[in-house]
Amino acid sequence: MAVNLKGKSFLTLMDFTPGEIRYLLDLAHDLKVKKRAGTKGSALDGKNIVLLFEKTSTRTRCAFEVACMDEGGHVTYLDSGSSQMGKKESLEDTAKVLGRYFDGIEYRGYSQKIVEDLAKFSGVPVWNGLTDVDHPTQILADIMTIEEHCDKPLNKVKVVFCGDIRNNMSYAWMYGCAKMGMHYVAYGPEELEVDEQVLAAARAVAEQTGGTIEISHSSECLKGADVLYTDIWASMGEEDQIPAKVELLSPFKVTMEMLKETENPDILFMHCLPSFHDFETKLAREWKEKGYDIREVTDEVFHSRYSIVFDEAENRLHTIKAVLIATL
Ligand code: CP
Ligand code: NVA
């Protein structure tokens, strides 16, 4: 069946059918070939998009900017300090104004309701560039990267997400795996409670697609994994939780021993980035001085032959470009 996503917002993968997600992935694979060949696109000629960032970003912002400009579009960037949104002007009024200037709006920030309201009031497609509970453009890139590195069809792939199993990446993975019929295991400490509604929603979809969504507190779950995925222990906005998170999640730091426990010689290590894997960052050094090792993965794993994190980061560009072209 033909897929038509024109005018549709991209707020969560839960709003898309497996066929629509397949369409976006295929388009992203094609756009990567085109980019590598140096072929200039014109799919976004005459389009203007605005990027709203209330949290910091390297990959997502740059991917949206380059993706749009590669296809002939124009980009305006607004961070939380440089617009009236939320301070002098309500979200509703801001959305109504932006919808009259721009063909689409990207938002990165806090609650999922903000992206939903932006879509409701602006009347143009809104793309979720990360909220507290989801990061759907990241999952598209991650699945694309798995397809490049793993010979198995997606419905045979087992992803183990290790660490903060109740963060936006863990939930986004639940949705992605459920939609694509994949096997997802959230492996972390019992103390971190996964949102029951998120779990139930993902499991209901998985029942239809043949996927499996599990929570595990035992390293037994590592066996047979195709992908071992982790993320920083304290997400943006949760920095005050670092000491408690270090205590809770240190046993879940990704190490070579953990990779061995998968019993898969072709195990893939993935991470959305940014990552604390050494002490080359201000934050990792500052916390080390206070007695906390915030590294969620060892440098050895990060730089090992199992690690595909930079292919994954590159694919943010191709998948975001696919989303822009498909929805505008
Ligand atoms: N993975 C990701 O979203 O990276 P940024 O925070 O740099 O955008
Ligand atoms: N969980 C992380 C993801 C960053 C891409 C955060 O929200 O900070």
Which of 235, 239, 294 most suits a substitution to test ligand 2, by most atoms within 8 Å of the C-beta?
235
112 is catalytic: no
Per-residue burial over 208-232, b = 16 or more CB atoms within 10 Å of its CB, e = otherwise? ebebbbbbeeebebbeebbbbbbbb
Span 271-311, pLDDT tens digits: 999 999 999 999 999 999 999 999 999 999 999 999 999 99
Of 185, 178, 183, 186, nearest in space to 209 by CA: 178
Rounded Cα distance, 163 and 234, in Å = 10
Q: Which atom of ligand 2 approaches the CA of 59 most closely?
A: 5
Instruction: Using 50 as the pLDDT threshold, list the residues of the chain that sit under it.
Output: none
pLDDT of residue 279: 98
CB-based contact 315:28 (threshold 8 Å): yes
231 is catalytic: yes
Catalytic residue among 138, 177, 226, 277: 138
pLDDT of residue 191: 97
pLDDT of residue 118: 98
Catalytic residue among 59, 108, 183, 318: 108
272 is catalytic: yes
138 is catalytic: yes
Calculate how far, in angstroms, residue 65's C-alpha sits from the geometric centre of ligand 1: 13
Calculate how far, in angstroms, residue 135's C-alpha sits from the geometric centre of ligand 2: 8
Q: Which two tokens stand for residue 39?
A: 């072929």
Which of 162, 169, 238 most suits a substitution to test ligand 2, by most atoms within 8 Å of the C-beta?
169
Residues 6 or more apart in contact with residue 204 via CB below 8 angstroms: none
pLDDT of residue 34: 97
Looking up tokens 């976006």 gives: 24
pLDDT of residue 168: 98
Q: Which long-range contacts (CB under 8 A, 24 or more apart) does 77-85 make?
A: 77/50, 77/51, 77/53, 78/50, 78/51, 78/52, 78/53, 79/53, 79/54, 80/53, 80/54, 80/109, 83/52, 85/52
61 is catalytic: no
Rounded Cα distance, 10 and 175, in Å = 13
